[in-house]
Chains A and B, each alone.
Chain A
Amino acid sequence: MTYFPEEVVEHIFDFLSSHRDRNIVSTVCKAWYRVERLSRRIVFVGNCYAVRPGRVMARFPGMKCLSVKGKPHFADFNLVPHDWGGFALPWIEAAARGCPGLEELRLKRMVVSDESLELLARSFPNFKALVLVSCEGFTTDGLAAIATHCRGLRELDLQENEVEDHGRQWLSCFPDSCTSLESLNFACLKGEVNAGALERLVARCVNLRSLKLNRAISVESLARILARTPHLVELGTGSFTVEHRAEAYQRLIHAFRKCKSLKSLSGFWDVAPRCLQSIYSICPNLTVLNLSYAPAIQGADLVKLIRHCFKLQKLWVLDCIGDKGLAVVASTCQELQELRVFPSDIYGTGTAAVTEEGLVAISSGCSKLNSLLYFCHQMTNAALITVAKNCPHFTRFRLCILDPGKPDPDTNQPLDEGFGAIVRSCKDLRRLSLSGLLTDKVFLYIGEYAARLEMLSIAFAGDSDKGMVYVLNGCKNLRKLEIRDSPFGDAALLVNVGKYETMRSLWMSSCDVTLGGCKALAAKMPRLNVEVINDRDESDEMEENPSDMHKVEKMYVYRTLAGARNDAPEFVEIL
């Protein structure tokens, strides 16, 4: 292999698109390591604390696109205290020093300050794309800096971030010379933007293909925008309240008819059922439809809409669609690949909206289904077994039965057999979330059959350490394991400590792991960071030196080359 000129090797590596493949070739020999690191353009860091930012920049000086993830997944559900960490600033500082040619930055679950956005805006002359998902810590001032200084910006995509509105007209900060935007998503912002500035911006950005507005944008404004952007492929509407006889509504219908390229729709806050008729003309072309923020649309209206959407590949809805509505989806949307059904009522004061029947209906109609997120009030083993038989192509299967630990209502049995059928049948399953009443048996099945499983989420499940042991010893491709409120303790934690170096991370909260167990793990595995996260409320009452028998409320373990991090807050102890 050393006879091959480096240019040829590099050219061959160009065909490797996956990070994993590139990581593997770089371990073959020193020459390949060198060629690979100099030619890598896209770098993915799954855990911001696994490696120091400076190290990444030094290894990949030609980096153009950087993705970094911060907080553990359970932070999405408020299980991680607010100031735990995950700061973007060190990454942006390091990139500014080491990779000034950076063009794209993608951050997920990180704390991004206005200061870091301002630094970002000024440090990278070729910067093209910023994607922030589930981040927090910034305000519209930071966005103003991006708009002002990033000449040639192509993409600004803000997904479900907590952004403080400082009322500054950030959108108006895009200079008149800015014509490069292809994708703009500010749906998560709560404040208003200057409608006129927005309309002028979209009009001059002739390559704009994706636009997602926030709730503050009126239908009148939407109609004007659409009139200027007939080539849009993805649209997120703003507030959709309009009297259906109003002139604005008529203009909207007219504008929609002109948008022949629209394939993806979302938004629809506050939409009244009658107004949905305005999009009937686009529905036959839709491949993506997100109505999960539109609770005002009940089953019957949803069904009328969906009957037009026979090319749908991805559908996100609320459970008010009902089992009957899902049956309509099953018969209409033969191309469906991804379905997410979110709960509209989490306080349990309404009647059950979707049950196992809806899921079974979907599985019998949509054979191409490979990704599911389903919130429901009940599930049966029989239904899961049927679903497993009908849809063997699942790669992501997340089921959330709203009542924790609820058994099969028909047989009063745990759901072990149902989930067992899923893992046996779906050989490509990469992600699985469990719920309902589950014993150690389900983990036996998972350990035995879920060979490709990479991420497993467990809540209120299992009887004993054996459950966790089955998983640790069985799933050879496991990367992320997150467990809450399950009876797994030190014996399980310590049974296969080497496993954790093959994984990105392990999260355990409200389990039976003790401080002593955590210390033992940390002692055995110096290249793991074992973080013990104490609840703020408890830490005042906690003794100076809690005993090793003390159960740990939250533990986060991850492999790292960087050693203990130096930005941990007081309530986090790194063993």
Chain B
Amino acid sequence: MEDLDNLKATELTLGLPGTDAPEKPSPASTTGANKRANEECCLPVAKKQVVGWPPLRSYRMNSIRIRKMEAEDNTGIYVKVGMDGAPYLRKVDLGVYTGYKELTEALNDMFKCFSLGGAEGHEESGYAITYEDKDGDWMLVGDVPWEMFISSCKRMRIMKGSEARGLSSST
């Protein structure tokens, strides 16, 4: 058990800064009865856990909780993200983001340490986020509706420098 805890400390998490990764139930139970039994112990700790807040009827709170449990059971949509010049790739779960803005910010955070400082020194210009779709074509991220994007994205690549000229992604 101790080893597992240590591994956890060095684990690279993919959630947004400030969010708590929800605890998943340890045996992957799939029956409805077990889900409900695990309900209480597996809730993510809210930033401010106040009794009876927000003021919602138990009936409605339970619906939200149950739905959250069901949603968490779905495995994430993990895709590889590479950046030119970076020594290793990363993986992101597209399911945790609600739109392009969040994704871009997260990628920014993830790759800023590899930023080639150099030429322009601007944060936003000089790179383009591209993705490989189901057909194997490399597309610019941001053209299609978000839902369509996450269902067709196979992997992503952040292009920098000359390749990116004229292609800069706007958020």
Contact = CB atoms under 8 A, between A and B. Distances in A.
A349 interface: yes
Nearest to B60: A342
Interface stretch (B42-50, B74-82, B153-161): B42-50
Contacts of A162: 58-59
B27 interface: no
Contact of A74 (B52, B54, B59, B60): B52
Interface in A335-351: 342-351
Given A160-B60, A292-B60, A349-B44, 10 more contacts: A74-B52, A79-B51, A160-B57, A188-B59, A345-B64, A349-B20, A350-B98, A402-B54, A404-B48, A459-B55
A295 B64 CA distance: 9
A400 B58 CA distance: 16
Interface residues of B, number: 27
A300 B147 CA distance: 11
B110 to A, nearest CB: 18
Contacts of A404: 48, 50, 53
Given A76-B57, A375-B54, A459-B53, A293 B46 contact: no
A169 interface: no
Interface residues of A, number: 32
A134 B57 CA distance: 9
Interface string A392-425: 0000000010111000000000000000000000
A351 B58 contact: no
Interface of A: 74, 76-79, 134, 160, 162, 188, 292-293, 295, 300, 342-351, 375, 400, 402-404, 433, 457, 459, 484
B61 A346 contact: yes
A239 B110 CA distance: 41
Interface of A is mostly: loop
A376 B47 CA distance: 16
A346 B64 CA distance: 8
B68 A400 contact: no
Given A79-B51, A79-B52, A347 B46 contact: yes
B165 interface: no
B151 interface: no
Contacts of A79: 51-52
Given A347-B44, A351-B98, A295 B60 contact: no
A402 B53 CA distance: 8
A78 B19 contact: no
12 contacts: A74-B52, A77-B53, A77-B57, A134-B57, A160-B59, A295-B67, A348-B47, A349-B20, A349-B44, A400-B55, A404-B53, A459-B53
Interface of B: 19-20, 43-44, 46-48, 50-61, 63-64, 67-68, 98-99, 102, 145
A400 B54 contact: yes
Nearest to B53: A404
B68 A78 contact: no
Among A295, A349, A484: residue with most chain B CB under 10 A: A349
Contacts of B19: 349
Contacts of A134: 57, 59
Nearest to A351: B98
Contacts of B56: 77, 342-343, 346
A134 B56 CA distance: 12
Contacts of B20: 349
A290 to B, nearest CB: 12
A85 B157 CA distance: 62
Contacts of A350: 98
Contact of A484 (B44, B52, B61): B52
Contacts of B99: 351
A343 B67 contact: no
Contacts of A400: 54-55
Given A349-B20, A351-B98, A343 B59 contact: no
A402 B55 CA distance: 9
B58 A78 contact: yes
Contacts of B59: 134, 160, 162, 188
Contacts of B67: 295
B56 to A, nearest CB: 7
